[in-house]
Amino acid sequence: MKIALLGIGLMGLPMGRRLCEAGHSVHVWNRTRHKAEQLAPLGATVHTTPAQAVKDAELVILMLDHGGVVGHVLFDLGAAAAIAPGTLLVDMSSIKPIEAKDHAARLSELGVEYLDAPVSGGTVGAEQGTLAIMVGGKAGNFERAVPVLKVFGRPTHVGPIGSGQLTKLANQMIVGATIGVVAEALLLCERGGADMGKVKEAITGGFADSRILQVHGQRMVDRDFAPRARMTVQIKDLRNALATASEVGFDAPITALFEQLYAQGIDHGLADLDHAGLFVELASRNGMA
Continuous H helices in 159-230: 163-191, 196-203, 211-222
Q: What is the pLDDT along the chain (289 residues), one digit of tens a residue?
A: 999 999 999 999 999 999 999 999 999 999 999 999 999 999 999 999 999 999 999 999 999 999 999 999 999 999 999 999 999 999 999 999 999 999 999 999 999 999 999 999 888 899 999 999 999 999 999 999 999 999 999 999 999 999 999 999 999 999 999 999 999 999 999 999 999 999 999 999 999 999 999 999 999 999 999 998 899 999 999 999 999 999 999 999 999 999 999 999 999 999 999 999 999 999 999 999 7
Cα angle value 64/174/71 (rounded, 5°):
20
Domain map (residue ranges) of the chain = 2-158, 166-285
CB 76 within 8 A of CB 46: no
Query: Which of these is catalytic: 168, 198, 200, 236?
Result: 168
How far is residue 114's CA from residue 88's CA, in Å, rounded to a whole number?
Answer: 6
CA atoms within 13 A on the CB side of 244: 23
CA 143 – CA 139 distance, rounded (Å): 6
Catalytic-residue membership of 168 = yes
The CATH class that applies to domain 2-158 reads: alpha beta
Query: Which pLDDT belongs to residue 273?
Result: 97
Contact partners, residue 28, CB within 8 Å, separation at least 6: 4, 5, 6, 8, 16, 36, 39, 44, 45, 46, 47, 53
pTM: 0.88
The predicted pLDDT at position 161 comes to: 98
Asked if residues 72 and 221 have their Cβ atoms less than 8 Å apart, the reply is no
Cα separation of 91 and 63, whole Å? Answer: 7
Superfamily of domain 166-285: N-(1-d-carboxylethyl)-l-norvaline Dehydrogenase; domain 2 (1.10.1040.10)
Closest CA to 94 of 126, 74, 112, 117: 117
